[in-house]
Chains A and B, each alone.
Chain A
Amino acid sequence: MCGIIGVIDRRRQLMDGTKIKEALASMNERGSGEGAGYVAYGIYPEYKEYYALHVFFDHIREHKVPLEDLLEKWGTIVHDEQIKTCEQPNLRKVHTPWRYFFRPDPTLMPKSTTPEEDIITHLVMKVNSERNGALIFSSGKNLGVFKAAGWPEDVANFYRIQDYKGYLWLAHNRYPTNTAGWWGGAHPFNLLDWSVVHNGEITSYGTNRRYIESFGYKCTMYTDTEVVAYLVDLLVRKHGLSEKIAVRAFAPPFWEDIDRMPAKEQELNRAIRLTYGSAMMNGPFAICIANENTLVGFTDRIKLRPLVVGESGDRLFISSEEAAIRRVDKDVGNIFMPKAGEPVIGRLYA
């Protein structure tokens, strides 16, 4: 059991983190105080050309230099600084969060068609699997993940989340089952432009992990959610599928429904299931995924987890509970619950 909330302003108007914190904290009954996190898009306009790498260091002197050596082998650190934090009585600061604005050198990955992304992915996989006192938990452009082990308010206050202004937010209130109290295990999970929050447990994790690892991704966080971020990266970025089709692959229609579809549609859906059977996710889940211009929410095929959608002007909200949405905007309209497996997609206006 966890609580999630996501919001996108389709006109790119910025929202600071105050209301998101309140909304997330309103779902404290769904959490256990062992993990909370936020991601905001649009927060680093002055560095938007560069990959913003957020890193947890175990020991600032021992582990920082080796990481920087590695980064400099693959590109240029344009700017770096400690992420501003404010000590909280109920939150033990076990890591030092740091941010780098980084420009990868595309000539260093000549075989790739997307060298910059592939360098970043490589660095994230390498650093996180080696576990050498550094963990890259956020790696997109003009966005940042802020997470820790603690209650939503404490985590938000620790990072001074009210100081960040984004047009798209995801937040997560964690009740851990797999890895308790670990900062790296808190949501959102991020890779490049993709961020994921998740409520539930993916029973197909072993299958998904084996599948995604055969494409060079490494699952290093001991939790099922990170696999979603990598699956999205693979299907959408690398294979070029739309978010809608990707969600179809993750939570496809049942065969009995496919068998009743008109021929063309049947062929398409059969092809999706045959090709991406190992990417299909099973078990109870409600998931919100975001990238720089899209917010997507969906549940498992038999709707074992709640998901509520609301709209208010340019804003689209997705959350575990309607009450959380109303904390942000009490007058939100068009509240509805999407069907099992069907994605709700909010996109920036073109």
Chain B
Amino acid sequence: MSIGSTPLKFRVTIDPERCMNCGRCVENCSYGVFRKEGDSIRINSRNCAACHRCIAFCPRDAIEIEEQPGDYRSHPVWTREVREAIFNQARTGRIILSGMGNAKPYPIIFDQLVLDACQVTNPSIDPLREPMELRTYLGKKPASLSLRPLPDGEVELRTKLTPNLQIETPIMIGHMSYGAISLNAQTALAKAVSRIGTFMGTGEGGLHESLYPYQDHMIVQVASGRFGVDINYLERGAAIEIKIGQGAKPGIGGHLPGDKVCTDISCTRMIPEGSDAISPAPHHDIYSIEDLKQLVRSLKEATEWKKPVFVKIAAVHNSAAIAAGIARSGADAVVVDGFRGGSGATPRVFRDHVGIPVEAAVASVDAKLRDQGIRNEVSIIASGGIRESADVAKIICLGADAVYIGTSALVAMGCRVCGTCYKGTCAWGIATQKPELVQRLDPETNAVQVENLIHGWTLELAELMGAAGINSIESLRGNRDRLRGYMLDEGLLEVLDVKTVGA
């Protein structure tokens, strides 16, 4: 007891004037904050994760959650987080696991970039009246075309195009595995992408049978654990993605704790129930770039060269050179996952300290591929911390072809970014496998919400393009002239190849 209790993270209060004792908070809280004792509701604030499920379901707005009601003596260096991490490790001697993405207050580059609009010298284009093309093709493109003139003056195409994914909006949903999130959550996402004409990733947990109807909109992932990977799985996917790394935890593997490996997950991942699902840090058949080429080709060979193969890496210092290596491996797209990418569970020290922001990574990857004349060899998919349509527009200007969103899509299903996914008791039925919690998430309703979100962003993107006098997304891609940096330092402006505001 030398450390004792630490201050509450949240204090939950119920206004007795407003409370009608309906007990919805008791039913909804999956963290055990509320319990009914006779006619009153008792509160244990220490259990609260601020998931807001109780607030969302209180019919009388009687509940309030106060963050950090009692804090430590303030200190700019010895923050609350630092002190509590020390307490935790002094008690346990272990690695601290955390949820969601990077929680350090690093400056956000997106918020220091501004977009351009037309005035006089060229007209804005009105997406209501005029065509606005957001269609994007992901995959390898030829560097040039070989055409044969025909006697009638027409030409015949001699270049054979390799398979590309066609998306009607440059927004896709990233890989969140069945295991990390619930089947109902995956189903909602799958319905949404199918209706919109875009794609989602399966994550590394295999493809559950009930998602087969949406398989044409699924990108199946092959990660170091190779869970659920067989020829059937590979053939069902519209594309295949090799996961090398993840922005939330570059350089390390992951594991799904055995207590989350229920019957259904055990079946989809094809591992015994209750055993840990361990993804090693590297793929043990990839110890060098030529081995990546071998895996890319083995996947293409297995699927008779009909599927694009993507390779996902965490954004790290040397991403540009790594991506150039990937472009030469025969891969069709490189996914660059920035250090703000989410995760169900990741060591805190990795989440907060390893990797670089996606904005800088995409800028340098695009520049390197162009320098080497191999930009057409691969598409660039950006992920990790894409929060709104402006982020999408900005990252495309920096050189991305499309984005993956993850957390944003979960928020569209009710996630409050409480960051306690690793507990497995997500009250919103997202990051949990407990049947009573999973059934709270209705796939249909949530599909509509996710669809609405992507639709709304797509409309905004079209408006932003129109304002910039651009009617096709190809002309936005890599168009860094339409960005300006606001209060970014010179070094970063150079990396981003963006001028400062006013210039």
A201 to B481 alpha-carbon distance, docked (Å): 13
Q: A241-B145, A284-B469 in contact; A201/B121 too (CB < 8 A)?
A: yes
User: What is the CB-to-nearest-CB distance from B397 to chain A, in angstroms, rounded to a whole number?
Assistant: 8
Q: In the complex the two chains form, is B481's CB within 8 Å of A205's CB?
A: yes
A99 an interface residue at 8 Å Cβ cutoff?
no
Closest residue of chain B to A257 (Cβ to Cβ) is: B131
Binds A, one of B63-71, B135-143, B247-255, B331-339: B135-143
Residues of A within 8 A of B143 (CB): 275
Q: A254-B133, A282-B475 are in contact. Are A271 and B373 (CB under 8 A)?
A: no
What is the minimal beta-carbon distance from A278 to any residue of chain B, in angstroms? 7
Q: Does A206 contact B (CB under 8 A)?
A: yes
* Chain B neighbourhood of A302, CB < 8 A: 125, 130-131, 471
A275–B164 CA distance with the chains assembled, in angstroms: 12
Bound: A242/B469 CA distance, A: 28
Q: In the bound complex, do residue B144 and residue A203 qualify as a contact, i.e. CB atoms below 8 Å apart?
A: no
Which residues of chain B are within 8 angstroms of A272 by Cβ–Cβ distance? 145
Number of A residues with CB within 8 Å of any CB on chain B: 43
**A277, B469: Cβ atoms under 8 Å?**
no
Question: Shortest CB–CB separation between residue B130 and chain A, in angstroms?
Answer: 6
A281 beta carbon closer than 8 Å to chain B: yes
Known: A213-B370, A275-B376. Is A206-B479 also a contact (CB below 8 A)? yes
Question: Are the C-beta atoms of A254 and B122 separated by less than 8 Å?
Answer: no
- Give the bracket for the number of chain B residues in contact with chain A: 35 or more
Binds A, one of B32-40, B154-162, B317-325: B154-162
Interface contact B471-A301, CB-CB below 8 Å: yes
Give CA–CA (A282, B130) in the complex, Å: 13
Cβ–Cβ contact B471 & A211, under 8 A: no
Q: Would B478 and A207 count as touching, CB distance under 8 A?
A: yes
Out of B159, B471, B481, name the residue touching A271 (CB < 8 Å).
Answer: B159
Contacting pair B482 A256 (CB below 8 A): no
Instruction: Check B370–A214 contact: CB distance below 8 A.
Output: yes
**Contact between B470 and A283, CB atoms less than 8 A apart:** yes
Residues of B within 8 A of A282 (CB): 469-472, 475
Cα A181 to Cα B23 with chains together (Å): 76
- The verdict on A284 contacting B474 (CB below 8 Å), with A205-B481, A206-B480, A302-B131 known, is no
For chain A, residues 110 to 127, give those with C-beta under 8 angstroms from any C-beta of chain B: none
Q: Are A203 and B469 in contact, CB atoms less than 8 angstroms apart?
A: yes
The closest CB in chain B to the CB of A277 belongs to B474
Contact B157 A273 (CB under 8 A): no
Q: Which residue of A lies closest to B371 (CB)?
A: A214
CB-CB under 8 A from A240, the residues of chain B are: 147
Can you list 21 pairs linking A and B with CB atoms under 8 Å apart?
A: A203-B482, A204-B470, A204-B474, A206-B478, A207-B477, A210-B366, A211-B375, A214-B370, A239-B144, A245-B147, A245-B155, A267-B161, A268-B155, A270-B161, A271-B142, A274-B137, A274-B142, A275-B142, A278-B375, A278-B474, A282-B469
Taking A214-B370, A267-B161, A271-B161 as known contacts, 19 extra A-B pairs with beta carbons closer than 8 A to each other, sorted by chain A number, are A203-B470, A206-B480, A206-B481, A210-B480, A211-B478, A214-B373, A215-B373, A242-B147, A264-B157, A268-B147, A272-B145, A274-B141, A276-B145, A277-B141, A278-B375, A280-B474, A282-B469, A283-B122, A302-B471
- The residues of B with any CB-CB pair to A shorter than 8 Å are 118, 121-123, 125, 130-131, 133, 135, 137, 141-145, 147, 149, 155-157, 159, 161, 164, 366, 370-371, 373, 375-376, 397, 399, 468-472, 474-482
